[in-house]
Chains A and B, each alone.
Chain A
Amino acid sequence: MAARSWRDHLPQGSRGPHRLILVREQDAQHSGSGCCGRLGEAHTDLGGAADYRHSRVLMQDIGAVYREVRARLPELAVEVVDPRNTVWLYPAVWQDARAAGRSARECFASLRRAGAALAVILDGEVLFSGRMPQTADVLAIIEQRLAE
């Protein structure tokens, strides 16, 4: 039986050879919030609007990239993930990088840069980490990489 990968779980129609991972922090508390508190005003009505304003800005930046990618590259698999979700993020980046034929050294370099408050990762290659240019420039680079 053939080995199953994440691509086998994608909905029909969006299955493709490439995957884009958009990393950004959700504007809400993670650890320990489910048993006794949940800070994050936009989603629970608990908390102050200013608490996670900085994360909100990053979410909106990534949101703009997400919408453009969905509109212009509908065949590209896109995942949006919180960098605090280390259990999923790092294995996925490693798997994508290996599937794209990158060396172990390049894979480790990708892992090192992947977990930022904001990152754009295409097929295991970290295109932007921490900061990114305008949405149009991000799209241009993604399209250029896909065309290579």
Chain B
Amino acid sequence: MPAFYLIVITLGAFYLGYRFYSKYLAERVYALDPNFKTPANELADGVDFVPTNKHILLGHHFTAVAGAAPIVGPAIAVYWGWLPAIAWVILGTVFGAGVHDFGAIVTSARNRGQNIGTLSGKVISARASTLFLLIIFFLLTLVNAVFGVVMAILFEAHPGSVIPAVIVIPIAMCIGQWVYRMRGAVLIPSIIGLVLLYAAIPIGQMYPIHIDGLADMLGLSVRTTWVILIFAYTWVASRLPVWLLLQPRDYINGQQLLVALVVIFTGVIVGWDTITAPAVNDVAEGTKHWFPYLFITIACGAISGFHSLVASGTTSKQIANETDARYIGYGGAMGEGSLALAAILACTAGLGSAADWNTAYASFGAASGGALDHFVTGVGHFLSNLGIDAALGASFAVVVVVTFAGTTMDTGVRLQRYILQEIAELAGFKSLVGKTSLLTTLAVLIPLALALAPGGESAGGKGFAFGQLWTLFGTTNQLTAGLALSVIAVWVLARNRNPLAAIVPLTFLLFMTSWALILNLLDFLAQGSWMLLIMDAGIFVLTAWLIVEAVTALNRQRRTA
């Protein structure tokens, strides 16, 4: 089947979802009121609360919710075939993410712009705030572990991409100096930065960076050495002021995201590529089955709990009219779904013949360990349709993924440092408070240990449990979504509206998450993967806790109603 048809089907389904289901949500579930005075109007201070044009706000919202995760998940999940992956992206976006992101904006706006952490404490129970903190702790640990491995895998497979991926750092720092120290405008510097970055791609091809010598000297594998180097970089990066690296990199990432989406879709249309992956892959017995693993392998791209932090953080404080929440929340979810679609296209139509695809996705270990490699190869192929050398195109894709992953790790370690400090305070370890270096070291060492943990189906047979880590990450992301959906459901019920639109995806996610966690638990036990077992058990306890909190809150609300 031509890949273009998949674009038409997916975007057509998104359109129908927006046209009909989001209308139903707006009118019957969230009962949007165009006369409701939003926090942006009620508290308009021009600082946090600013009534904002919905097109501007969609731009802010979408660039904030898009990242590397909606690429990694689908790139792994096509292991089960393109049909389950795209079906979950469509259904997840239309009936899950749309409800979740849209609802988080409305619920927060109706509560004076309070964020989802605070709202869970208010709407569900005081304990829910602690639950939120613990879920975020697990989530960040896993995020840092998986993205460290993602970058290592890419650097090992594409040594030609190391120079352009690394050169982003000084470019971003120069932009940071120019914008925040010199107070200059960013357009010309960011264009120069992008030109330099893209010019570095062929240079990188000419001078690929191999670290075999260093790895031999340390007595480690190349991949392990890369993981350690990446975490060392993250330790340093997360200690820098945000204006120096993290913030200016936002400009580069924003441009890269747009360029990547445009070239992928244009490349598919121009090349008229055919999907060579099977609709449903007949995986070997004993391998992970798509039911339930698909639903936690693709979190971002189908439904992601972290969107609720953006929705209830800044977006809800700036909507000018409550009815805009539909366009921004549901529209942003569809944008994220489109990114997942791009990843599915790259990994099902960009890898060559059916035999090539079968080799690339021979096992779940190969699928997960090589997921990003498959994505960049696919993007390289799409770029070759536009007359650009496939190897250069692949390097471009590596740079896109690595700049996003690097930003995510920088953020993750910073956040983990704050959370560790908060947990230390709660636990009475006052001596840890303010010890930035020590806390950063802990925030780096915990995910590093997890990233290097052997177990399960290793990535490419090289001793990592990347696929297992990714599915664990998916469970924590779905738990965050579950918490937000619980808040939305209770709030909808409190307004005497039918909460099923939120309860159905909530129940589905918690069921799939619990099931996958139990299967993982048995696997880890059988394999003796103790570190992963502890992580899995911890997340399972949080899931059970969330189920109890959600059921209790809904029952309490039903009795009140």
Chain A residues engaging chain B, CB cutoff 8 angstroms: 6, 9, 11, 22, 25-26, 28-40, 42-48, 51-52, 54-55, 59-60, 62-67, 70, 79-88, 90, 111-119, 129-131
Contact = CB atoms under 8 A, between A and B. Distances in A.
30 contacts: A25-B247, A28-B313, A30-B64, A32-B253, A32-B404, A33-B67, A34-B65, A34-B310, A35-B66, A35-B67, A36-B139, A36-B143, A36-B300, A39-B246, A40-B314, A46-B309, A46-B415, A47-B418, A48-B418, A54-B180, A65-B46, A84-B250, A84-B254, A86-B251, A114-B187, A115-B186, A116-B179, A116-B184, A117-B180, A130-B185
Contact of A35 (B50, B70, B140, B255): B70
A33 B314 contact: no
A66 B415 contact: no
Interface in B39-72: 44-48, 50, 52-53, 55-56, 59-60, 63-70
B68 A35 contact: yes
A86 B259 CA distance: 13
A67 B46 contact: yes
B115 A45 contact: yes
A70 B44 contact: yes
Interface in B386-445: 404, 407-408, 411-412, 414-415, 418-419
Contacts of A45: 115, 117-118
Contacts of B59: 85, 87-88
Given A35-B70, A67-B45, A79 B186 contact: no
A34 B336 CA distance: 10
Contacts of A25: 247
Contacts of B217: none
A55 B249 CA distance: 15
Contact of A29 (B44, B48, B246, B300): B246
Contacts of A22: 46
A46 to B, nearest CB: 5
A1 to B, nearest CB: 20
Contact of A63 (B45, B253, B309, B336): B45
Nearest to B255: A86
A62 B45 CA distance: 10
Given A48-B418, A54-B243, A79 B143 contact: no
Nearest to A52: B242
B317 interface: yes
A33 B117 contact: no
B52 A79 contact: yes
Contacts of B243: 54-55
A85 B415 CA distance: 24
A2 B560 CA distance: 53
B306 interface: yes
B328 to A, nearest CB: 13
Contacts of B47: 59-60, 62-63
Given A25-B247, A40-B313, A34 B67 contact: yes
A88 B53 CA distance: 10
A26 B304 contact: no
B9 to A, nearest CB: 24
A55 B250 CA distance: 14
Given A29-B247, A33-B64, A131-B183, 8 more contacts: A29-B250, A46-B136, A55-B243, A62-B47, A84-B60, A111-B187, A115-B186, A130-B183
Interface of B: 44-48, 50, 52-53, 55-56, 59-60, 63-70, 115, 117-118, 136, 139-140, 143, 147, 179-180, 182-188, 190, 242-243, 246-247, 249-251, 253-255, 257-258, 300, 304, 306-307, 309-310, 313-314, 317, 320-321, 336, 404, 407-408, 411-412, 414-415, 418-419, 477
Contacts of B408: 32, 35-37
Contact of B242 (A26, A39, A86, A130): A39
A66 B50 contact: yes
A115 B178 CA distance: 12
Which of A38, A113, A116 has the largest count of B CB atoms less than 10 A from its CB? Answer: A38
Given A25-B247, A30-B63, A112-B185, A35 B52 contact: no
Closest 10 CB pairs between A and B?
A: A66-B46, A34-B65, A130-B183, A31-B253, A63-B46, A43-B313, A37-B411, A63-B47, A32-B67, A35-B69
A30 to B, nearest CB: 4
Contacts of A31: 63-64, 66-67, 249-250, 253-254, 257, 404, 407
Contacts of A81: 52, 56
A36 B250 contact: no
A85 B118 CA distance: 28
Which of A22, A34, A64 has the largest count of B CB atoms less than 10 A from its CB? Answer: A34
B78 to A, nearest CB: 19
Contacts of B186: 83, 115-117
B184 A130 contact: yes
B418 A129 contact: no
A125 to B, nearest CB: 14
Contacts of B257: 31
Given A33-B67, A39-B415, A84-B254, A51 B242 contact: yes
Contacts of A84: 60, 63, 250-251, 254
Contacts of B53: 6, 9, 79, 88
Contacts of A119: 185
A39 to B, nearest CB: 5
A38 B310 contact: yes
Contact of B314 (A28, A65, A129, A130): A28
A80 B52 contact: yes
Contacts of B336: 34
A37 B306 contact: yes
B254 A37 contact: no
B56 A88 contact: yes
Contact of B46 (A64, A82, A129): A64
Contact of B187 (A9, A42, A90, A118): A90
